[in-house]
């Protein structure tokens, strides 16, 4: 703790740096000479080797009056192999070129980024690159599904670099913009201008390069841009929704270039992280929400961060319009359409038939068949009823799933079960049980 405190006091390590690289480290053992530290990812070890080790030894000496060596071990065995992480030479500072509009969103910073299990590694890599652009991981490549923070992190690098080097030329482009600029330059004989812009940057951020798929000309130009920047030790950061070798018809030479640097994936946030993100967003919007309610929202919206934000905006809008505080009732009302849509698209008649058949101890074949005994007719009609209630499938489609029955049979089943359930508590309970089981 005393050593940590010394790091914290040093203005060289700002709050982010401290939290990410230093405070995340756990001391495991100490034998009087060697202090074993457990680090969360391979990047942390890399960073410690490069940036923190000597300061650590100095501070440890100040605290203990003996020579203490750090022994850096990784938590679990996660993270990529650090052996092939590229290390690059000193970048010779050049006189700055005319300033280029970086096109960054000022909200996408490290300060507003919540670190959690699925993005810890990506965040650490982003921070390392923003502290030493062009020198550590070049190119840096983030991949992962939509709404998980790739664009945010990439722009956080840009914002941080501009903050520490206001004269740096930073440029953020979507792949679409790059493609359009390139085509525009070709058509208007402005290739020189295009190259002047794209090759004079110190940090190039290219978002969503999966859109380079099937665009050979643009890929060639991107390859040239990449090489020109890389040779000058200029930092390149890219994102995509998948790995480079999974992008359709991306030329091998580009794929192999991307492998020179570091690729890190971002995965969906776990429950805890989702709740932390919600808390941060609610706070920044001045929205008062109880902790229980936060956890509830986080448990309901489990796909990505963009949807979490959407849910919170809806809740805020409801609270504003109704001029009510954020209660559990208000939240479930606000989230209802989001949940229903998601559920409807995910459920199929097959799932419903399977669960219903097993619940009533009959077979799916019975449900699809024509037997008219009561022990089968009721389960069949309940299953049809549930298909109407829980999916978006059309009546003919439901009929078809039930062994090619007419759509009027489905209507009849739905009406009959609705009527029966109105006066039959046992049936109501069965339907409720089935719904829970099917959703599960
Ligand atoms: P992607 O580019 O992966 O599709 P974005 O970077 O556009 O995702 O993120 C979607 C939204 O979620 C943005 O508004 C972003 O600020 C927010 N977001 C994503 N991850 C986080 C996080 N870890 N902390 C805070 N906000 C996040
Ligand atoms: Mg994005």
Is residue 288 within 8 A of residue 319, CB to CB? The reply is: no
Q: Pick the residue with more confidence: 28 or 398?
A: 398
Tell which one of 147, 174, 285, 310 to mutate to probe ligand 1, the residue whose CB is within 8 A of the most ligand atoms.
147
Ligand lying closest to the C-alpha of residue 105: 1
Tell which one of 16, 273, 305, 310 to mutate to probe ligand 1, the residue whose CB is within 8 A of the most ligand atoms.
305
Q: pLDDT (tens digit, 9 = 90+) per residue, 150-185?
A: 999 999 999 999 999 999 999 999 999 999 999 999
Say what the pLDDT of residue 44 is.
86
Ligand lying closest to the C-alpha of residue 152: 1
Atom of ligand 1 nearest to the CA of 266: 3
Averaged confidence pLDDT in the chain:
88
What 3 state SS string does the chain have?
CHHHHHHHHCCCCCHHHHHHHHCCCEEEEECCCEEEEEECCHHHHHHHHHHHHHHHHHHHHHHHCCCCEEEEEECCCCCCCCCCCCCCCCCCCCCCCCCCCCCCCCCCCCCCCCCCCCCHHHHHHHHHHHHCCCCCCCCEEEECCCCCCHHHHHHHHHHHHHHHCCCCCEEEEEHHHHHHHHHHHHHCCCHHHHHHHHHCCCEEEEECHHHHCCCHHHHHHHHHHHHHHHHCCCEEEEEECCCHHHCCCCCHHHHHHHCCCEEEECCCCCHHHHHHHHHHHHHHCCCCCCHHHHHHHHHHCCCCHHHHHHHHHHHHHHHHHHCCCCCHHHHHHHHHHHHHHHHHHHCCHHHHHHHHHHHCCCCHHHHHCCCCCHHHHHHHHHHHHHHHHHCCCCHHHHHHHCCCCCHHHHHHHHHHHHHHHHHCHHHHHHHHHHHHHHHC
Q: pLDDT (tens digit, 9 = 90+) per residue, 314-356?
A: 999 999 999 999 999 999 889 887 765 666 667 899 999 999 9
Q: Pick the residue with more confidence: 202 or 46?
A: 202
- Give Cβ neighbours of residue 273 (< 8 Å, ≥ 6 apart): 114, 115, 116, 117, 118, 119
When pLDDT is cut at 50, 70 and 90, the band that residue 92 belongs to is very low
Q: How far does the centroid of ligand 2 lie from the alpha carbon of residue 320, in Å? A: 29
Nearest-CA residue for ligand 1 atom 26 is 113
Nearest-CA residue for ligand 1 atom 6 is 149
| Residue 403 assigned ligand-binding role | no
When pLDDT is cut at 50, 70 and 90, the band that residue 75 belongs to is confident
Q: How far does the centroid of ligand 2 lie from the alpha carbon of residue 241, in Å? A: 9
Cis peptide before 24 (omega within 30 of 0): no
Q: Pick the residue with more confidence: 195 or 15?
A: 195
Q: How far does the centroid of ligand 1 lie from the alpha carbon of residue 244, in Å? A: 21
Q: How far does the centroid of ligand 1 lie from the alpha carbon of residue 204, in Å? A: 20
The pair phi, psi for residue 228, each rounded to 5°, is -60, -45
- Does residue 235 carry a pLDDT above 80? yes
Ligand lying closest to the C-alpha of residue 304: 1
Atom of ligand 1 nearest to the CA of 149: 6
Q: How far does the centroid of ligand 2 lie from the alpha carbon of residue 104, in Å? A: 13
Q: By percentage, how much of the chain surpasses pLDDT 90?
A: 59
Q: Which of 234, 118, 123 is closest to 170 using CA atoms?
A: 234
Q: pLDDT (tens digit, 9 = 90+) per residue, 106-154?
A: 999 999 999 998 999 999 999 999 999 999 999 999 999 999 999 999 9
Atom of ligand 1 nearest to the CA of 123: 23
Nearest-CA residue for ligand 1 atom 5 is 149
| Residue 339 assigned ligand-binding role | no
Say what the pLDDT of residue 342 is.
63
Atom of ligand 1 nearest to the CA of 119: 23
| Residue 149 assigned ligand-binding role | yes
Q: How far does the centroid of ligand 1 lie from the alpha carbon of residue 147, in Å? A: 5
Say what the pLDDT of residue 241 is.
92
Atom of ligand 1 nearest to the CA of 112: 25
When pLDDT is cut at 50, 70 and 90, the band that residue 88 belongs to is very low
When pLDDT is cut at 50, 70 and 90, the band that residue 369 belongs to is very high
User: What is the model's pTM?
Assistant: 0.65
Is residue 250 within 8 A of residue 212, CB to CB? The reply is: yes
Q: How far does the centroid of ligand 1 lie from the alpha carbon of residue 45, in Å? A: 26
Q: What is the mean pLDDT of residues 370-398?
A: 92
Q: Which residues line ligand 1 (CB under 6 A)?
A: 108, 112-114, 119, 146-152, 277, 305-306, 309
Q: Which of 94-98, 158-162, 306-310, 406-410 has the lowest mean pLDDT?
A: 94-98
Say what the pLDDT of residue 93 is.
38
Say what the pLDDT of residue 84 is.
34
């Amino acid at each position: 703790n005393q050593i940590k405190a010394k790091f914290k006091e040093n203005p060289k390590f700002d709050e982010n740096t401290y939290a990410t690289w230093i405070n995340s480290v756990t001391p495991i053992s100490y034998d009087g000479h060697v202090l074993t530290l457990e680090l969360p990812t391979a990047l942390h070890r890399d960073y410690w080797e490069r940036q923190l080790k000597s300061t650590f030894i100095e501070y440890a000496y100040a605290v203990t009056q003996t020579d203490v060596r750090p022994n850096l071990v990784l938590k679990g065995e996660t993270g990529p192999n650090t052996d092939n992480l590229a290390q690059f030479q000193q970048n010779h500072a050049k006189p700055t070129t005319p300033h280029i509009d970086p096109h960054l969103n000022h909200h996408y910073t490290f300060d507003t980024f919540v670190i959690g299990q699925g993005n810890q590694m990506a965040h650490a890599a982003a921070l390392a690159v923003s502290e030493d652009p062009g020198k550590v991981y070049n190119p840096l490549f983030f991949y992962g599904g939509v709404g998980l923070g790739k664009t945010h992190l990439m722009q956080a690098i840009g914002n941080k670099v501009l903050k520490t080097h206001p004269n740096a030329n930073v440029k953020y482009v979507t792949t679409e913009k790059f493609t359009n600029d390139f085509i525009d330059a070709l058509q208007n004989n402005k290739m020189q201008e295009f190259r002047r812009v794209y090759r004079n940057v110190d940090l190039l951020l290219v978002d969503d390069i999966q859109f380079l798929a099937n665009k050979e000309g643009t890929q060639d130009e991107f390859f040239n841009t990449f090489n020109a920047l890389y040779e000058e030790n200029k930092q390149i950061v890219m994102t995509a929704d998948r790995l480079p070798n999974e992008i359709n018809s991306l030329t091998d030479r580009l794929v192999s270039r991307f492998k020179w640097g570091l690729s890190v994936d971002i995965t969906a946030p776990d429950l805890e992280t989702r709740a932390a993100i919600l808390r941060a967003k609610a706070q920044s919007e001045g929205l008062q929400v109880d902790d229980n309610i936060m956890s509830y929202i986080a448990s309901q919206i489990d796909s990505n961060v963009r949807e979490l934000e959407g849910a919170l905006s809806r809740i805020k809008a409801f609270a504003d319009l109704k001029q009510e505080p954020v209660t559990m009732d208000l939240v479930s009302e606000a989230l209802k359409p989001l949940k229903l849509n998601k559920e409807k698209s995910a459920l199929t008649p097959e799932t419903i038939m399977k669960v219903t058949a097993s619940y009533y101890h009959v077979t799916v074949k019975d449900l699809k068949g024509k037997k008219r005994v009561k022990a089968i007719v009721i389960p069949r009609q309940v299953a049809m009823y549930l298909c109407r209630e829980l999916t978006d499938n059309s009546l003919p489609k439901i009929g078809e799933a039930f062994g090619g029955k007419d759509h009027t049979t489905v209507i009849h089943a739905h009406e009959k079960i609705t009527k029966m359930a109105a006066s039959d508590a046992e049936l109501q309970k069965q339907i409720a049980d089935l719904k829970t089981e099917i959703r599960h």
